[in-house]
Structure 1
């Protein structure tokens, strides 16, 4: 008899007997759920962590052992939590729960020792944001004594708020990489700081702790102050510490803008709909619609005309998911964002005609034609796009005063060393969590980009 984990994996094969292009009626929630179920199945065929001999929680990798870096496992489980939240399908809840718990690390901060020597602040944050999402949608809580979702998010945030992460170079801000030995340590970028801002904004809303809100405001102000966001609401990638972060890499990536917009939406809700955050949301949305949507379809200008890295091939799904939740915490955006989500999802589905089953998805949505390249990122993108269409019928993210059940720990992560040579960090009653992805740099002289490899 096969091990239980392999039997579970084989059970996922049941829906795959029907061949043909992915079809969906976007006016029917039931049809959207049915299509999303097929996409979710195809996505999970890329995951083998529940099988004997494989590591739970991660997609195959990192290179050269597979295409995917550690952070994309965290992104996958956030996608699957949203899938469950929007559709009600519990098929993958067990494997999601087990994967998220397996990778918490020795200090319950999503910095497991197996990955610390290649760990970026954004990598840690993607796991922290998925934990925060689990708290916000009341995903299954862990048993008493085991790592809790809110505390995990706080652990990530606490460590990133510590002095050894926030130095005075460039006037503040997080570096891309955590360790000085890693390529990219001299780079302060939008995604690392955007994730820290995003988690802080969400923790502020969830806990009503002003400390998080103050840090979120400070971080957004810093991003604007170093001109990673310009007057026209273009969002650039980052700059290097030796140049005081003035050698701005002007590449624009959709998830940079979306992570900021989502965090701003949470701050809008936290501040009882302040005009300042409303204006920031509107500006970011203006910029996103201008730069990243072509006739209403999400487009990644930094790579679609050339070569997209494996990381970039997953950005579109995050954008759809983060825009969707923004409509719940900043309702004034609902009509505008909903229109974009629908038109983009419609084109995304049209190119899901590839793979052995005839329904796997590519990346170039604007063409409406499958581009011949399948992958976990492409499937996450379309699953995020479809699931997000159900946002209007989904429960708004909860807080600890509106039904949230996850147990927090304001000191989580604060006693664990964030650098190998550093003494244990002691930060009292700080509370918090997380940071996202990035892995993209560019030299200003030639406007090229490069990806840091683990």
Structure 2
């Protein structure tokens, strides 16, 4: 079970003294924001059972129909809690975070545990790598030397996703990263924005952290593919993806995390290139469109599902978007005057409706009503947590590099070089003859057994 620190217990005591009042926070006071974030984080972990006997560390309950959550959202949650730790200094959840991330590493130290093969997307794998990359950048406690290291885990995922096995070999969509890892998975022929945006984001961050331009070149190549395929429109709308063979059947659904993933990656490259005008222009264009599309009336909103029904994945997008916009303000400070007022107004709307649950402070999903909507879940809590801590981003330490205090050990050869789909030697005449003999022997033995069983 979760063990709470003395400071957090004191915060919980304050909440009890307020007789389970709605989440109460002064958004002009960093200390108040941190106290509210502590409560939201504590409520978030009520949806996690991986530290209980017989449960699997690292994952939220699922996948459907066994629970609401796919594997990737566990990785996303630990990223949210790492960001919470960095922004508040609260180390309450360190043991949980470390156990969870290392438990899901997999036998090749690449976040590819075999039991998730049936639903393994490149974006799913990437979300765990993003959390490892964040651990690297915030100077999070390194694992024991005999365990996989945060930086090498991020490198392993990036290197594997660079491999031609994950890529479209030719045609208009050439070198696009597929949504799904395995050919047997539904969606293998979908070249979507989030998988490619995750790869772009990790590459941008590896470039900045290691000062290795190869990562930046690959990230830039991916940006160009996304733009050339029309996934980023001339108006800077970011669409969801398209199918093979030619990626022309654009799915024009717009989700905030697609844009935000690209925005944060662009901010890392802006910072890495010492303020490149190209990346500054791209950041400005993305920010302007995002504020128009995803923050009507300055309140976070998911236009492609919120008016109908958002699934458990979509219910978590607002939090990632806020966190990555907060990170953008750190790396590209010129964005702060645009982003901060909107995030602040959105967060105010978010906490206003956190009046649910037995403790009177669980958060719902629809923030523009000002009323709790009875929609509770890990995603809803991550949304409000991400919004709260995003307001602290400009004042916290920027991401580290390996020359500014980063300690995580990397591995330029990390990642499995084994093909995803095993290949077999051609069948020869001798193979066929041997198979025939073996089949005859099996039949003879089986008939003998049947005869013996039929005797009295």
TM exceeding 0.5: yes
- Retained in 2: the 8 A contact 1:324–1:388? yes
Residue 411 of structure 1: aligned partner: 413
Residue 248 of structure 1: aligned partner: 250
Residue 41 of structure 2: aligned partner: 40
Paired with 1:418 and 1:187, the residues of 2 have a C-alpha distance of 20
Q: Which runs of structure 2 are paired with 1:31-180 in the superposition (5 Å)?
A: 31-169=32-170, 170-180=173-183
**Per-residue deviation, 1:389:** 1.2
- Retained in 2: the 8 A contact 1:159–1:418? no
Residue 261 of structure 1: aligned partner: 263
- Retained in 2: the 8 A contact 1:148–1:408? yes
Paired with 2:31 and 2:282, the residues of 1 have a C-alpha distance of 35
**Per-residue deviation, 1:414:** 3.5
Q: CA-to-partner distance for each residue in 1:227-252, whole Å, 9 max, x for gaps? A: 0001100000000003x000000110
Q: CA-to-partner distance for each residue in 1:45-69, whole Å, 9 max, x for gaps? A: 1111011010000001111111110
Residue 371 of structure 2: aligned partner: 369
Residue 381 of structure 1: aligned partner: 383
Say which SS state the counterpart of residue 164 (structure 2) adopts: coil
**Per-residue deviation, 1:330:** 1.0
| More displaced stretch, 402-411 vs 12-21 | 12-21
Number of equivalences: 416
CA shift in 2, pair 1:264/1:382, >3 Å: same
Q: CA-to-partner distance for each residue in 1:355-386, whole Å, 9 max, x for gaps? A: 11111001111111111110000000000111
Paired with 1:318 and 1:119, the residues of 2 have a C-alpha distance of 20
- Retained in 1: the 8 A contact 2:167–2:174? no
**Per-residue deviation, 1:167:** 2.3
Q: CA-to-partner distance for each residue in 1:320-348, whole Å, 9 max, x for gaps? A: 11000111111111221111211111111
**Per-residue deviation, 1:418:** 5.5
CA shift in 2, pair 1:10/1:273, >3 Å: closer
- Retained in 2: the 8 A contact 1:59–1:70? yes
Counterpart check, 1:198 vs 2:201: yes
- How big is the alpha-carbon RMSD for the aligned residues of Structure 1 and Structure 2? 1.6
CA shift in 2, pair 1:264/1:68, >3 Å: same
Structure 2: which 5+ residue stretches go unaligned?
425-456
| Counterpart pick for 1:335 among 337, 355, 365 | 337
Q: Which runs of structure 2 are paired with 1:285-296 in the superposition (5 Å)?
A: 285-296=287-298
Q: CA-to-partner distance for each residue in 1:176-195, whole Å, 9 max, x for gaps? A: 00111111111000000000
Q: CA-to-partner distance for each residue in 1:14-37, whole Å, 9 max, x for gaps? A: 827451211100111111111111
More helix, by proportion: 2
**Per-residue deviation, 1:420:** 4.1
Q: CA-to-partner distance for each residue in 1:45-98, whole Å, 9 max, x for gaps? A: 111101101000000111111111000000000000000000111111110111
Paired with 2:213 and 2:196, the residues of 1 have a C-alpha distance of 19
Counterpart check, 1:316 vs 2:318: yes
CA shift in 2, pair 1:36/1:107, >3 Å: same
- Retained in 1: the 8 A contact 2:2–2:93? no
**Per-residue deviation, 1:393:** 2.0
Q: CA-to-partner distance for each residue in 1:185-244, whole Å, 9 max, x for gaps? A: 1100000000000000000000011110000000000000000001100000000003x0
Counterpart check, 1:224 vs 2:227: yes
Paired with 2:283 and 2:137, the residues of 1 have a C-alpha distance of 21
- Retained in 2: the 8 A contact 1:233–1:283? yes
- Retained in 2: the 8 A contact 1:151–1:407? yes
- Retained in 1: the 8 A contact 2:363–2:380? yes
| Counterpart pick for 2:360 among 345, 358, 363 | 358
| Counterpart pick for 1:235 among 235, 238, 260 | 238
Paired with 1:418 and 1:201, the residues of 2 have a C-alpha distance of 26
Larger radius of gyration: 2
- Retained in 1: the 8 A contact 2:130–2:202? yes
Residue 396 of structure 1: aligned partner: 398
Paired with 2:308 and 2:187, the residues of 1 have a C-alpha distance of 23
Paired with 2:355 and 2:363, the residues of 1 have a C-alpha distance of 6
CA shift in 2, pair 1:30/1:194, >3 Å: same
**Per-residue deviation, 1:408:** 0.4
Residue 449 of structure 1: aligned partner: none
Say which SS state the counterpart of residue 165 (structure 2) adopts: coil
| More displaced stretch, 135-144 vs 160-169 | 160-169
Paired with 2:61 and 2:82, the residues of 1 have a C-alpha distance of 20
